[in-house]
Structure 1
């Protein structure tokens, strides 16, 4: 029997792979022909599994060791076997046609086992941008095959990276998946798979969320009155994945948490609330929303602050007769506390009521009324009547002027209903 060095030694060495399964392999047996021969290089129980191209394998045993006899049609074998150590070992192959025996000795072995494939739990991308989904493979070799699958509605589809202009990667040198110019339809679950010889490994799905920069809108708002409360709405779309809400006044960050008069500006309640509005609250307000892919800002909205002037309404006054008494009722709305209400007749103050005479309307502190009486009406009372209110903010409010008519003699009223329209007719009897 002749032995010689195999010129394909290096090529064959690259194709040998070992798979660690906890077995102590320190002997390699290759048996061809009618007689069995064991090539031993140590002790211990082991199992050999040979993967042979164009060949058939039968299970046998030798000296209590289990192995497989592989008959190769062309004399060339591609081997894979189980091993748990990296001791010196020998592989021998006998070619019966040429009676040549080759030996390979190794002090190290390239271990192959089922690959463990991991990806992130989730990824976020922005429309129009680029992103890379990492894929980590524990056992990566030159002949490892990488595949990427997209899972949608219970159906997994292999991504054809080679024929795509937007997908790159998915090779043993670069297992990661890169997506160029991300689109909304790229959203979904992705799975990375790796194959080493007959062993496959798959990652758990990684969900790719595709987001857009948030769109923020603040509508126009009515002027605020000093002392009142106001809410400046902030509408954000889409609301999902928003990570932060900020408010700006005149392009400066508004410290909502450091001011007891402000609230809101959160992810769950983005609108801004201002309590007891002050004159210096007037300005331009901007709402900003942030998500993992970008920032959106509203157009600045100007909030005007009006002084807290009392609003005064004078009840209608009917014509009166000289010598009678007339009661005038004034209705006042004021955020600040009212101090006094004055009745002015022909630019002359004829009556002033202090705060103790004011009455609440339905228990509302900001809406009050007061009744003022003119006793023994005279002819000179005829003319303009105005109600004026003064509050603690230092502002005066005036009603619309009302024309008081004073008659001499007896005044009677008759009310006639005709076709559902009420008409009023006055008859005057002059008595001297």
Structure 2
């Protein structure tokens, strides 16, 4: 294997100190397959192929370099899938609180950022769609956890602390399942995944939550109910094009429902909608400003892995088969042709890969991943039921992305998990009051009352 670890650069600015770490890790850790193989199946040995995983270290300049080097590590696992580590220019929010006790390590999860990238041109080098799908099967939470544990050992760290946001919380549960020896404590925000059951039940719960959030939003802004319906009808009848050249369809417009997932974003939806139309010689048309704002919300150019791998994060032992698309049939109020169509959330549908030019090159591999039947388990129910690692989680009552009821099932399934259930935040709570949320969870895992 090539050099396992090197630091490219160090910097100091605005009260923080950074170091840029690169790690050479196996594409196939071997153990990943051993965790989840079917009975009688012999796991494949590592192919010997390696990839690079990047991580940026953050610490406070309130400490000298020598003092900072003695601080324990906090690994932050961000949302996703397919999300790179946050690029911050000052210590604020949860990082401000965490930097008092830790050095923070922020991963670019494999395939993202400065880690060996996955994009259409690099993925094409893998060969045909089947070979690409085989490659991407190594980019789920199990592999991310294996990378993390490899990195911890390479750094010579004692068991470290982990903070997981959203999908990062899913990864933290996988870490507790398969490598608890690497963990001192775990904190999770908006990320208690269901540890058993098909993806369908996740989306049934999600559609119910999103429908309720639509109702809440339109009660606040009743005038927007008419605007949303008007836009959907207009897009059915009148071609409108984004600046990138593709047509904006009614179902892609519904994706602006991503605003509904947070306290800090939901009111911005009203500002988006209020200047949707302009009068032209040809009649009402969608404004250029509106179309540009929508483009940034409905394109996956910046993070195609999110769409390609999204349903696989729920795949355990069976195919997901476009679960959100199938379950949608049970919720006709989300159809763009409904009398008053609702806005959607983070669900991924097969038409994404026809309508978004950034995703068209991934169409065939996405179909193969949706049909993949031998996904390895991502969690060990027995290990979680006998867990001894301190765990605390912020559970948001009205989270439209990670259902409260399913989260509470997971609370009951993980021994010693301390939930903090609150209706004060939505999925983006860590962005609204990260400092307060971190302190609350840190106090729970450290035994504060």
Fold match, TM over 0.5?
no
Structure with the higher fraction of residues in strand conformation: 1
Answer with 1 or 2: which has the greater Rg: 1
Higher relative contact order (CA 8 A, sep 6+): 2
Structure with the higher fraction of residues in helix conformation: 2
TM-score by length of 1: 0.18
